[in-house]
A and B are shown apart, each in its own frame.
Chain A
């Protein structure tokens, strides 16, 4: 079993009637799918891709809502040997012209041969295309071949090599869409094997329940590819349903005796605060053996509030687990809290912030409690390095670097970005942390990235949008993240220099910025601060210094972080 298609063939032949997926949608009955149904649905798509002249090794972009069409299209691309990449669907608040610009930018770098979408979305897609584009065919979901028996003798996916790229993963936003993480069959399968062992997955017992979007690595790998290729039943809710009714996750865990779920940190707070008693009648969470916190900074308080809220419904404290993951390593780098309790390290706050040392608490001084992200998976090596890339000792904070048997092949069509990401064969993550007894603690971020609710936000995308607003000094905008403890995630703060001192005019500019950013990026700004000329700190090369301005903001506006 060397490629995805070989594994699917094996299940199709050896266990076709096994249910691999349940799709749950609001106001609709739950729909189960067996491996036979999944693979037949995918075979219909594979046939269409072939008829439309898509070649193996070429990229196909999927622009479909969360549901069975997306699942069939994804595996259809794989059975055909082409490379699927999911583009998030247009949300109601995002301006279509912004969406088109993002799509055009994705196309220009990824150079897909085909796009698949809905009939009523065809116009938006077509309007993003240029005559010289790589896209030869826009396929519509209503015109796909019906499910059919796959002929594994002729399916081109069976002829792929384990070293070939199987899929691309993108972060959202203009910047994220320009950096597609390309992963090979071998890399993904290595990750699944190590992760399966670490999690102790058992086909007969485990059930994964997820509401996560499939265009995000946690949703795509841990809660889609892993269960389907490892024969763990998957119960899949839509992220749009979950955000309006978070209790559906708990009801699904209860109904399907779910054993594992992955959640970004904010979801612990969100569930703890926003679920009413009446939605928990008869809910039993005792089957949940791992609720894994991943993809944004983890806070012990979030775990505690989640536990307090749901312990009366059978939730076990030991089930709360942690993970450090990134798309460049397929997914998990470390995993904590599954075979041993999550290690909690209480350290002196000042030493951490100023000296970059994780020192035991000092009497009378403030301390912080950090949760370990666990130990590295088999096949993954982690080291902490200083600014010269030299490994440093335990309890010293530096950049997390890694080397593994599941690394990305490269950023797709971006040799420049790929080369920049590595130093002597080690991938530099851009995250800060320290190690202690082989446990990895993540303490911060070197890169400017902001993570809101598990979603990556690139500040430069937001700054660019704000600079378009009349009255804002071009080049004089800065965006950064500030932790919001109540929400368990980061708030996005924007500071802009403006010419006017007039309160009413400032109010209008501020409103215009919020509006432009919301409809241009689907990101909601929590704070917009307008300042006078020369407030913002610049670097010696004349660029706006994000970290320095963040510090100035926290100092000046009295918020101590």
Chain B
């Protein structure tokens, strides 16, 4: 389950946000605090998570303290769904 979510998130981030489809992202790598996912893309990530996993992320939760890595986002999705 988790690896499935991780995979989908990694593909979405590398393809749609970073526009580097061949890139592999470490599930523990910092996304937000490192600047890899910039603030303008946070909302895309939230919309994707909502459409794909049916989990709503409130805009006040779109920051590194709620989730910063794919692993953390994946846990967040599982707790909420």
Binding site for B on A (CB under 8 A): 26-27, 91-94, 240-241, 243-246, 270, 274, 276, 453, 514-515, 518-519, 522, 524, 526-527
Contacts and interface: CB of A to CB of B under 8 A. Distances in A.
Nearest to B62: A244
A92 B40 contact: no
A455 to B, nearest CB: 11
20 contacts: A26-B60, A92-B33, A93-B33, A93-B34, A94-B35, A241-B59, A243-B39, A243-B42, A243-B43, A244-B42, A244-B62, A245-B43, A245-B59, A270-B40, A514-B36, A515-B34, A518-B35, A518-B36, A518-B38, A524-B38
Q: How large is the interface on B (under 10, 10 to 19, 20 to 34, 35 or more residues)?
A: 10 to 19
Interface in B16-41: 19, 32-36, 38-40
Query: Counting chain B CB atoms within 10 Å of each CB, which of A93, A240, A270, A276 scores highest?
Result: A93
Contacts of B33: 92-93
B73 interface: no
A453 B59 CA distance: 20
B59 A244 contact: yes
Nearest to B46: A244
A240 B64 CA distance: 13
Contacts, number: 50
Given A274-B43, A274-B47, A526-B19, A27 B38 contact: no
Given A26-B60, A92-B64, A526-B19, A246 B34 contact: no
A92 B63 contact: yes
Contacts of B34: 93, 515, 518-519
The 5 closest A-B pairs by CB, nearest first: A518-B35, A93-B35, A245-B59, A244-B59, A524-B38
Interface of B: 19, 32-36, 38-40, 42-44, 46-47, 59-60, 62-64
Contacts of A515: 34-36
A453 B35 CA distance: 16
A27 B60 contact: yes
Given A94-B35, A524-B35, A524-B38, 12 more contacts: A27-B60, A243-B42, A243-B43, A244-B46, A244-B62, A245-B43, A245-B59, A274-B43, A276-B47, A453-B40, A518-B34, A526-B19
Nearest to A247: B59
Contacts of B62: 244
A123 to B, nearest CB: 19
Nearest to A278: B56
A240 B38 CA distance: 12
A274 B34 CA distance: 23
Contacts of A92: 32-33, 63-64
A157 B75 CA distance: 55
A54 to B, nearest CB: 34
A514 B39 CA distance: 15
Nearest to B41: A524
A250 to B, nearest CB: 14
Given A27-B60, A92-B63, A274 B35 contact: no
Contact of A519 (B35, B47, B60): B35
Contacts of B46: 244
Nearest to A520: B35
A245 B63 CA distance: 12
A175 B64 CA distance: 29
Contacts of A240: 39
Given A518-B36, A522-B35, A274 B44 contact: yes
A72 B71 CA distance: 42
A453 B43 CA distance: 15
Contacts of A274: 43-44, 47
Query: Counting chain A CB atoms within 10 Å of each CB, which of B33, B39, B42, B46 scores highest?
Result: B39
A285 B32 CA distance: 33
A240 B42 CA distance: 11
